[in-house]
A and B are shown apart, each in its own frame.
Chain A
Amino acid sequence: MSDKTITLGTRDQIYMEQLAPRVMMLAGSIGVIALILAALIGLAVHDNMKQFLCSYLTAWVFCFAIAISGLWFVLAHHLFKAAWSNVVRRIAEALSANFVLLAILFIPILIGMREIFPWTSHAYMQSGPELRHKELFLNTPFFLLRMGAYFAALIGISFYYRRMSLEQDQDGQVWRLVRLQKNAGWCFLIVCWIMNLAATDLIMGLQPKWLSYAEPLYFATGCAVTIFAVLPIFAMLLQNRGYLPGLITKEHYHDMGKWLFAFVMFWAYIAFAQYLLIWYGNVPKETAFYLFRQLGPWAAISIALIVGHFLIPFIGLISRWGKRRTSTLLFWAIWVLAFQYLDFFWQIQPAVYVQSAKVQNAALAGLDPYKLLGSAENAVWLPLHPISLIISLLCLVGVGGIFVAHTFYLLANKSLLPLRDPRLPEALAVESL
């Protein structure tokens, strides 16, 4: 009720001064070491760094998804004038302010893009009538321009929202909040648009012959899944270390759990919608995506995604009890996050190998690459080779570690709550039905 008084605790519990430097050192050093190891192993397998780039892109897309959905969460918070999300808003703001880091981490992908993006070859793009007109969009200068524009917009929006919010802590001006709310509409549109285009560039671009109108939405849904898994994990980590004691309550965790549940279901809905339309239509340019993912071990991963990303967490998160107990919510958040990584792995890694040199050469010789499925088979299994899996794991630890270190750098010495937000009392007293 409104007359409940809540004490914010001491300064040490609101400002993270002790924990952040230690996490930054630990996560950052582990991340850098893991990345160097991954690169060394990648060099050792003599495939022109293809597997390393492929694993690196997967890890990068995973962190990009967390950052962009963090920004999406902040914008949605302002757009709907929400209250409860104030308690985790600072975490989301810090996650979304990682785009400078992500832009720097994108450089290795740019250097090696000839290895993983087949459209970088002009000859390949001229090899089929269905590819020729796509070169208007899928060409190197325009790709660089687009990525530059995405990062400019994302960095601009995320810094604006974070800076205004931090400045409100200093001066307590309400007009800052009002302005953020007014600007949330068009910023939200831009961020959603970038999500869609990024899915086209980073996922569909790996397989230029493939076309799916649902893929951008599928990717965006995957992004949204990550933020509602990452937010409770972060909040529990902070609370476990003595920050924000009693301020993020099980009511807030319940709310985050509800969103996680909703997006797990929405993910399944979109995944199913995409699959079903392609299955019914049975058109080669669309089935290209599922063709390789229905064979051998990739089929097992496809089934594992249905069961592990939807059915099991659906049962686990459906009850109120499972969402309100922090230990069960933590378990399901980590579970869903792991399967979301597997989803990105499944979207990206086989695609890179479908475009193997053999298949491309065949395309240049005027043959249909998809008739060469047999010869491409061996290459398609390569990401599941134990050494490839080690590279993928090291890349995930590497990029993820640096990402976590940078997030803690952004969280350090700043208030973990928007202290002078007019809706903070309402947010702290929220009760979830």
Chain B
Amino acid sequence: MTTYSPSIDTSPADPGMYGLLAEFHDPQALVNAANVLRKNGYYRWDCYSPFPIHGLDKAMGLKFSPLPVVVFSVATLACVGALALAWFCNAFDYPLIVSGKPYWGFGPHMFVAFPATVLASVVTTFYATFIFCKLPVFRHPLFTSERFRRVTDDGFFIAVEARDAKFDLTATAALLNAAGAQAIEEVRD
């Protein structure tokens, strides 16, 4: 988590400070506040909600995930690899006669290639998501907040990290307040 470009990053004045946590009343308020933070140039912050909210990714200015490219590349490799393996085993290295059919045919070997492609896609999606989300994380400063527990039920939150270049305790709190936060609290690690 510390491999961050120092030109944007500033080491916080208070090393124990994680950031500010703001609670919002409903999904729409969260989207509006996300718009405000993005327009004010904040970079190190995230939204937390119990369910996916339409339009939130746009309001946060999230970029496209590289996941599809990774999965597609691995899946293509797996498909070609499975066909190559089947060809090598059954048609080249040790030719097998099965019910009078030719040694090599796309048809029967697609049976191997198709599940190999699917399996490779699934496994890649799973682990790539893990890596892109920087998981596993066993402990997170936000979990120290009593209020934050409602995020899995009916709470809508924005946390702005103290590492953000624009972070300033009073100014950021005022901005979140103006953006419609119901409650704001400091989160300490």
- Are A276 and B108 also in contact (CB < 8 A) when A1-B31, A3-B28 are? yes
Any B CB within 8 A of the CB of A167: no
Chain B residues near A280: list those with CB within 8 A. 99, 101, 107-108
- Are A431 and B108 also in contact (CB < 8 A) when A1-B31, A3-B28 are? no
Any A CB within 8 A of the CB of B110: yes
B108 and A319 within 8 A (CB):
no
How distant is A252 from chain B, measured CB to nearest CB, in Å?
15
B28 and A276 within 8 A (CB):
no
Any A CB within 8 A of the CB of B66: no
Report the bound CA distance from A276 to B105 in whole Å. 10
Any A CB within 8 A of the CB of B115: no
Report the bound CA distance from A269 to B115 in whole Å. 13
Any B CB within 8 A of the CB of A160: no
Chain B residues near A319: list those with CB within 8 A. 68
A279 and B107 within 8 A (CB):
yes
Closest partner residue, chain B, to A321 (CB atom): B64
B54 and A431 within 8 A (CB):
yes
Any B CB within 8 A of the CB of A275: yes
How distant is B63 from chain A, measured CB to nearest CB, in Å?
13
Please, what's the 1-or-0 string for A1-37, where 1 marks a CB less than 8 Å from any CB in chain B?
Answer: 1010000000000000000000000000000000000
Closest partner residue, chain B, to A279 (CB atom): B107
- A219-253: which residues lie under 8 A (CB-CB) from chain B? none
- B58-117: which residues lie under 8 A (CB-CB) from chain A? 68, 72, 99, 101, 105, 107-108, 110
Contact of A1 among B28, B68, B105 (CB under 8 A): B28
Report the bound CA distance from A3 to B54 in whole Å. 13
Any A CB within 8 A of the CB of B55: yes
Chain A residues near B105: list those with CB within 8 A. 279
Report the bound CA distance from A275 to B108 in whole Å. 11
Any B CB within 8 A of the CB of A318: yes
Please, what's the 1-or-0 string for A278-321, where 1 marks a CB less than 8 Å from any CB in chain B?
Answer: 01100000000000000000000000000000000000001110
Report the bound CA distance from A318 to B52 in whole Å. 23
Report the bound CA distance from A431 to B57 in whole Å. 12
Contact of A276 among B27, B54, B107 (CB under 8 A): B107
Chain B residues near A320: list those with CB within 8 A. 68
How distant is A312 from chain B, measured CB to nearest CB, in Å?
15
How distant is A265 from chain B, measured CB to nearest CB, in Å?
11
Chain A residues near B28: list those with CB within 8 A. 1, 3
Report the bound CA distance from A275 to B107 in whole Å. 8
Closest partner residue, chain A, to B110 (CB atom): A272
- Are A1 and B72 also in contact (CB < 8 A) when A276-B107, A276-B108, A279-B107 are? no
Report the bound CA distance from A318 to B54 in whole Å. 22
A318 and B72 within 8 A (CB):
yes
- B3-42: which residues lie under 8 A (CB-CB) from chain A? 27-28, 31
B55 and A431 within 8 A (CB):
yes
- Are A1 and B54 also in contact (CB < 8 A) when A318-B72, A319-B68 are? yes
B55 and A1 within 8 A (CB):
yes
Please, what's the 1-or-0 string for A395-433, where 1 marks a CB less than 8 Å from any CB in chain B?
Answer: 000000000000000000000000000000000000101
Report the bound CA distance from A305 to B101 in whole Å. 24
Report the bound CA distance from A366 to B100 in whole Å. 29
Chain A residues near B110: list those with CB within 8 A. 272, 276
- A254-276: which residues lie under 8 A (CB-CB) from chain B? 272, 275-276
Closest partner residue, chain B, to A4 (CB atom): B55
Chain A residues near B54: list those with CB within 8 A. 1, 431, 433
Chain A residues near B107: list those with CB within 8 A. 272, 275-276, 279-280
Interface pairs (12), CB distance under 8 Å: A1-B27, A1-B28, A272-B110, A275-B107, A276-B107, A279-B105, A279-B107, A280-B101, A280-B107, A280-B108, A433-B52, A433-B54
Interface residues, chain A, with chain B CB atoms under 8 Å away: 1, 3, 272, 275-276, 279-280, 318-320, 431, 433
Known contacts A279-B105, A280-B101, A320-B68; 18 additional CB pairs below 8 A are A1-B27, A1-B31, A1-B54, A272-B107, A272-B110, A275-B107, A276-B107, A276-B108, A276-B110, A279-B107, A280-B99, A280-B108, A318-B72, A319-B68, A431-B54, A431-B55, A433-B52, A433-B54
10 tightest A-B contacts by CB? A431-B54, A276-B107, A279-B107, A1-B28, A1-B55, A1-B54, A275-B107, A431-B55, A272-B110, A319-B68
